[in-house]
Structure 1
Amino acid sequence: MELPGVPTSLLEELREAAVSIGVSRLALVGGVVRDQLLHQRFGHPWTGVPDLDWVVEGDAVALAAELVRRCGSDRLKALQEYGAFGTVSLQLDGTPLDLATARQEHYPAPAENPVVQAGTLTADLVRRDFTINAMAMELVAGELIDLHDGQEDLASGQLRFLHRCSVQDDPTRVFRAARYAARLEFQLAEESREQIRSTVEQWPWAWRQDDPAPAAPPALSTRLRMELDRLLEREPWRQALDLLEQWQALPLLDRQLQNDRQRTKRLRWARRLGLPLMPVLLMGAADPVAVAQRLQIPGRQQQWLQQCAELLHWLDVDPLPLSAGPSVWSAALEQHNWQPEAVALAVTLRPRPWKPLLRWWGRWRMIQAPQTARDLIDMGWQPGPALGEELRRQRSAAQDQSR
């Protein structure tokens, strides 16, 4: 086995440690197997190895202990153990490794967290999401394990769900599919597209979108948010979101987002204004705050969405005259104590009028009075309401001069 950037000596150390304690199968799994095959066989660029995920058919904790005994603290660092099944992370010769005991799983109910128990390497691969991610490089025997024709799908540039109930069990896999398809420029297999369409249409989950947000199962709430975060932060998000729309998958977030024609424009404005993409995406939902609460996005972003809704209502029912100057707009916006980001969120929707909101966000709110309170006190002003009023007057004059 050869991995670009990974010393052969490290792999040999792992193999010898596994053999010495009787581990029959130790396999490299996950995206690194897929990416290595894409690189070696199909010429995809190699982007490096962030870490190496190994499945141990046996005791991962015992294997880690053997590595400690063989390598010592100079070579092996940052060892940490997690979870009931003894997943161990460590660094060997500076390379991050994760060792996990092979496991199998089943879903007690659609979209709930799976129930996991110890299993075999074969069972561990069965629980993966796509055929191209269900391959393993077995280190002890030195063979590639491909039980689900992942190599064929790599060759044809296809993403294919591993099971006929993949979407029902875990709808976050749909967003993962969009991430991979956008990044790798793969096509989703036709039967997998049909699985998404039919599953979303049937909605096999006990929770409905009109139900209380806290009742949503993990794969339609927090875990879905985590996949969406990865999509928006690390992937070609425009292509990925377009794919989700093509696959009729956006109702997993909110039905109204499926036909959100302003999505790309809003997200481009978000980039321009330096806003996180998540709340801007959710602005297209029927009830952005409710979806944000279900996904459990950061509390401050939920607050922005709530305040943005208040601002838009204010613009509808009590608009300022078009002739209002910078100081009037600034006073009106600031008296509500709306966060600047809430105003910027409103800008992405281009309400009428929107240019004063943009100017307040980009310039007017940052203008200060030319004199400070200390300057005025040095000139003979006494601390108190009159001094504060003078500072406000000077700031308003400075704002109005900035037209």
Structure 2
Amino acid sequence: MELPGLPPGLLEALVAHSGGRRLALVGGAVRDLLLHQVHNDPWRGLVDLDLVLEGSAPELAERLRVWAGPERLGFCHIHGAYGTAELELDGVLLDLASARQESYPAPGENPVVRFAALADDLARRDFTINAMALELAPAAGGVVALELLDPHGGQADLAARRLRLLHGSSLNDDPTRVLRAARYAARLGFELAPGSLEQLRRTLAAWPWAWRPGDPPELAPPALGTRLRMELDLLLEREDWREALGCLQAWGALPLVEEALQNDRHWRRRLRWAQRFALPLLPAWLAVVADLPALAARLQLPHHGQKLLHQFVQLRQWLAAVQGSSAGWSPSRWSEALEERGGSAEAVALALAAGLGPRRPLLRWWLRWRHLKAPVTATELIAEGLTPGPALGQALRARRAQRLDQERP
């Protein structure tokens, strides 16, 4: 088996500096190479290579750094405490990791890691199609042969375009794996195996995690908090989100995030509008949730996302409060009401994407009214005899209101 696109001698250099330890290529390159061979899927090329060593990956990286020299080495970052390293060698990105084994102290918590054998490293992975490896083995004539390791039946699942969880407690340990399943389903056209779908439903029914909806958000385990949000970010940024989110909803997996999302039938429309308004997709997807601040805190959204959702919640409450009294408001009245609240254009755009409030005035404000200024400047009003102070600001606002009310409501 050959891996196309590699610089000559790279595999030989890796083996020569491995110290006689077992070294294997793992991850997406293995999966994509086999997909290309089995299904004639397009070969995506080598973005990077993930390698696992039965031994110290940092030591291997250091030996490669010395051997390559500045002419062949782009960069080298070694993380001794984690047993990993990244380097660019002959233009190829290499992610090196020491083989490890994982155990979970409690469902959904971060795993406890210890160095182990290659077989243990493959057994800790999420799906059978990701639990294969190409071991770099010395062959006659000084070349390197790639020997396929498939201890969990990944080849059969690749042939069937099937996503099968590696063991019976996979989602109990790490529920974010179902989000990765949706990402692979969207990208590769795979289906979730019946047994894995049953595991998902059984796990959700049992809800084995210590945190439950309604508990303080800061107490959620990482797999229902930060790690869950990171997987959502990857799904929305890198995959066909229509397909991936559709899979999660069809599988009944969205209560992991929030029950309201499972029953939401308008998320496609909302996200399409969010794209048109250049809004971040994750806040737009979450906008249907009632207690957005708690969910944003649990997922630990970045500051910008939390601020946007906070403004959106305030706007949502205000629009509901004025729903019966805002009919017939003039452009200046709408502009004053929206702007005096300190709401951002993004929050109004999110309300539009979510289908809230009277669409016409919100859209006109977002597209045009907010950009209109008074037809005179403060300097011109001072030249007319007004003195700087509150009266000047009031006059500018009055002139702007007059201009706004010349617009179509």
Describe the superposition over 1:91-128 as per-residue Cα deviations: whole angstroms up to 9, x where unpaired: 10121111111111111110000000000111000011
Matched, 1:87 2:84: yes
Describe the superposition over 1:209-241 as per-residue Cα deviations: whole angstroms up to 9, x where unpaired: 111000000000000000000111111111111
Letter in 2 for 1:335: E
Matched, 1:159 2:163: yes
Secondary structure at the aligned position of 2:86 is classed as strand
Q: Distance in 1 between matches of 2:290 and 2:137?
A: 54
Q: Distance in 2 between matches of 1:323 and 1:275?
A: 29
Structure 1 residues 45 and 374, CA, compared in 2 at 3 Å: closer, same or farther?
farther
Secondary structure at the aligned position of 2:101 is classed as strand
Structure 1 residues 88 and 376, CA, compared in 2 at 3 Å: closer, same or farther?
same
Q: Is the 8 A contact 2:351 2:357 kept in 1?
A: no
> What's the counterpart of residue 74 of structure 2?
77
Q: Is the 8 A contact 1:88 1:99 kept in 2?
A: yes
Describe the superposition over 1:27-73 as per-residue Cα deviations: whole angstroms up to 9, x where unpaired: 11111110111123321112232211110111212211221222112
> What's the counterpart of residue 127 of structure 2?
130
> What's the counterpart of residue 261 of structure 1?
265
How far has the Cα of 1:296 moved from its partner? 0.6
Q: Distance in 1 between matches of 2:373 and 2:45?
A: 48
Secondary structure at the aligned position of 1:80 is classed as strand
How far has the Cα of 1:316 moved from its partner? 2.3
Secondary structure at the aligned position of 1:52 is classed as strand
Q: Is the 8 A contact 2:58 2:80 kept in 1?
A: no
Matched, 1:22 2:20: yes
> What's the counterpart of residue 332 of structure 2?
327
Structure 1 residues 71 and 300, CA, compared in 2 at 3 Å: closer, same or farther?
closer
Q: Is the 8 A contact 2:24 2:134 kept in 1?
A: yes
Q: Is the 8 A contact 1:2 1:8 kept in 2?
A: no
Letter in 2 for 1:336: R
Aligned alpha-carbon RMSD (Å): 1.6
> What's the counterpart of residue 40 of structure 1?
37
Q: How many residues align?
A: 400
Structure 1 unaligned blocks of 5 or more: none
Q: Distance in 1 between matches of 2:32 and 2:380?
A: 64
How far has the Cα of 1:284 moved from its partner? 2.0
Equivalences for residues 143-292 of structure 1 within 5 A: 143-292=147-296
Q: Distance in 2 between matches of 1:226 and 1:33?
A: 24
How far has the Cα of 1:187 moved from its partner? 0.7
Q: Is the 8 A contact 2:288 2:354 kept in 1?
A: no
Among 66, 69, 81, the alignment partner of 2:63 is 66
> What's the counterpart of residue 141 of structure 2?
none
Q: Distance in 1 between matches of 2:226 and 2:82?
A: 23
Letter in 1 for 2:379: R
Q: Is the 8 A contact 2:123 2:131 kept in 1?
A: yes
How far has the Cα of 1:381 moved from its partner? 4.3
Structure 1 residues 36 and 329, CA, compared in 2 at 3 Å: closer, same or farther?
same
- Which deviates further from its counterpart, 4-13 or 336-345? 4-13
Q: Distance in 1 between matches of 2:24 and 2:380?
A: 71
Q: Distance in 2 between matches of 1:275 and 1:290?
A: 21
Q: Distance in 2 between matches of 1:374 and 1:3?
A: 71
Matched, 1:110 2:115: no
> What's the counterpart of residue 359 of structure 1?
364
Q: TM-score, structure 1 length as denominator?
A: 0.95
Letter in 1 for 2:336: A
Q: Is the 8 A contact 1:254 1:286 kept in 2?
A: no
Structure 1 residues 336 and 125, CA, compared in 2 at 3 Å: closer, same or farther?
same
Structure 1 residues 12 and 322, CA, compared in 2 at 3 Å: closer, same or farther?
same
Q: Is the 8 A contact 2:65 2:76 kept in 1?
A: no
How far has the Cα of 1:269 moved from its partner? 1.5
Q: Distance in 1 between matches of 2:269 and 2:149?
A: 45
> What's the counterpart of residue 354 of structure 2?
349
Q: Is the 8 A contact 2:58 2:79 kept in 1?
A: no
- Which deviates further from its counterpart, 93-102 or 352-361? 352-361
> What's the counterpart of residue 319 of structure 2?
315
How far has the Cα of 1:288 moved from its partner? 1.9
Q: Distance in 2 between matches of 1:118 and 1:40?
A: 33
Describe the superposition over 1:223-280 as per-residue Cα deviations: whole angstroms up to 9, x where unpaired: 0000000111111111111111111100000112111112212112211211111111
Aligned-pair identity in percent equals 56
Q: Distance in 1 between matches of 2:80 and 2:242?
A: 36
Structure 1 residues 139 and 374, CA, compared in 2 at 3 Å: closer, same or farther?
farther
Letter in 1 for 2:242: R
How far has the Cα of 1:83 moved from its partner? 5.0
Q: TM-score, structure 2 length as denominator?
A: 0.93
Structure 1 residues 59 and 168, CA, compared in 2 at 3 Å: closer, same or farther?
same
Secondary structure at the aligned position of 2:20 is classed as coil
> What's the counterpart of residue 10 of structure 1?
10
Q: Distance in 2 between matches of 1:6 and 1:174?
A: 33
- Which deviates further from its counterpart, 29-38 or 214-223? 29-38
Structure 1 residues 118 and 211, CA, compared in 2 at 3 Å: closer, same or farther?
same
> What's the counterpart of residue 389 of structure 2?
384
